[in-house]
């Protein structure tokens, strides 16, 4: 697949290297008043530019000087900055990670195990901040063109949180990721009994200009929802109208490549609906994948060449 046009320019995040936490590119702003610990993270993947643009924009609103949390505290993190520093518009996918996917290493047995990689070292530096957060927004974008999507995790409390946020129009409850635990599912975020909650927003295609608009809008609305900023400040800075209605997709299974010969049998796009059960939609070596039920939704189908272990698409259905 040819890369789409790169419409975004990577921001200069150098001014935000020296935070006040002892960890590069991690800042914490404390109101001095009781309230939640709120965390917003960008660059979990180094080629997903929209989150870096959104946090850079937020810093330039006077964060830390004229703009401070009303209550509780706010943590801002640029995550895989090493991968981001290698971004090349001629090969934009190459900077997703350096050694491994930073968003698959958040289980304790991995974080505190004997493994070593650049991403693991960074995750270990970020872990104390993730674990102290009551509310988390992790900003992402997608390889292929698709309308924005909120990954609400495995639990209904995530979907309720996204409905309180009011955007985007499509919400996803899934089965987790077979390759490893995501940050948004760690600890209390993935515990139905915990008041902690997290959202992962997919803002659109990686390099479309609209993804940055969605990212900034999500940050502004998240800050308002969690009580970090004044409602009037947020209302003056929202960029996009709220959808008339939000729709929930519940995933029941991922389709994971077993061979290097995985391919779809017809053109597919994110959130496409296949009307009939029993429809063959992909082939993986000698295995043909078919839909199990009517109105199957294809969630984030990957157009990249498959290799064993890669999730190529998730299957679910709209609940409403």
Long-range contacts of range 212-216, CB-CB < 8 Å, 24 or more positions apart?
A: 212/8, 212/49, 212/50, 212/53, 212/54, 213/239, 213/240, 214/50, 214/148, 214/168, 214/240, 215/42, 215/50, 215/51, 215/53, 215/54, 215/139, 215/141, 216/53, 216/54, 216/57, 216/58
Domains annotated for the chain, with CATH where assigned, are: 14-235 (3.40.630.10), 252-318 (2.40.50.630)
Measured between alpha carbons, how far is 307 from 118 in angstroms, rounded to an integer?
23
Residue 136: name the closest of 119, 121, 153, 120 by CA. Answer: 153
Burial of 21 from C-beta contacts in 10 A (0-12 / 13-18 / 19+): middle
pLDDT the model gives residue 3: 59
Tell me: pLDDT of 238 over 60. yes
How confident is residue 85, by pLDDT bands cut at 50, 70 and 90? Answer: very high
Q: Which residues pair with 248 in a beta bridge?
A: 171
Token match 């290297």: residue? 17
User: Looking at residue 305, what is its pLDDT?
Assistant: 62
Nearest to 101 by CA among 26, 22, 46: 46
> DSSP string covering 84-138, please?
HTT--TTSGGGGS-SSS-GGG--SHHHHTSS---HHHHHHHHHHHHHHH-SEEEE
Digit-coded pLDDT (tens) for 13-61: 999 999 899 999 999 999 999 999 999 999 999 999 999 999 999 999 9
User: Phi, psi (5° rounding) for residue 304?
Assistant: -70, 155
Residues 6 or more apart from 66 whose CB is under 8 A from it?
none
Instruction: In the chain, count H helices and then E strands.
Output: 7, 14
Which residues are registered as beta bridge partners of 29? Answer: 74
- CA dist 295 and 43 (Å) reads 34
Contact 108, 162 (CB under 8 A): no
Burial class (CB in 10 A: 0-12, 13-18, 19+), 298: buried
In tens, the pLDDT along 103-160 reads 999 999 999 999 999 999 999 999 999 999 999 999 999 988 899 999 999 999 999 9
pLDDT of residue 1: 43
**What tokens does 257 get?**
């490549």
């Amino acid at each position: 697949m040819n890369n789409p046009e790169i419409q975004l320019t990577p921001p200069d995040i150098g001014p935000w290297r020296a935070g006040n936490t002892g960890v590069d590119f991690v800042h914490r702003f404390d109101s001095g008043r009781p309230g939640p610990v709120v965390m917003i993270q960008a660059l979990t993947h180094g080629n997903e530019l929209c989150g870096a643009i959104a946090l850079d924009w937020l810093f330039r609103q006077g964060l830390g000087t004229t703009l401070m949390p009303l209550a509780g505290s706010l943590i801002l993190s640029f995550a895989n900055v090493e991968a981001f520093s290698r971004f090349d518009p001629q090969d934009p996918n190459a900077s997703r990670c350096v050694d491994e996917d930073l968003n698959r290493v958040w289980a304790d047995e991995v974080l505190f195990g004997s493994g070593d990689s650049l991403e693991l070292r960074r995750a270990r530096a970020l872990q104390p901040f993730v674990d102290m957060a009551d509310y988390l927004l992790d900003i992402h974008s997608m390889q292929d063109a698709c309308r924005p999507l909120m990954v609400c995790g495995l639990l209904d409390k995530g979907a309720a949180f996204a409905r309180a946020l009011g955007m985007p129009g499509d919400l996803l409850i899934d089965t987790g990721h077979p390759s490893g635990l995501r940050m948004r599912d760690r600890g209390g975020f993935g515990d139905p009994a915990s008041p902690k909650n997290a959202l992962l927003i997919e803002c659109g295609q990686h390099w479309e200009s609209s993804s940055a608009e969605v990212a900034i809008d999500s940050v502004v609305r998240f800050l308002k929802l969690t009580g970090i900023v004044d409602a009037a400040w947020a209302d003056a800075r929202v960029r996009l109208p709220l959808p008339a209605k939000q729709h929930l997709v519940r995933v029941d299974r991922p389709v994971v490549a077993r061979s290097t010969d995985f391919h779809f049998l017809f053109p597919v796009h994110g959130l496409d609906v296949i009307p009939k059960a029993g429809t063959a939609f992909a082939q993986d070596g000698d295995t043909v994948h078919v839909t199990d039920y009517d109105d199957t939704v294809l969630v984030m189908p990957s157009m990249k060449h498959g290799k064993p272990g890669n999730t190529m698409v998730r299957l679910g259905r709209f609940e409403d």
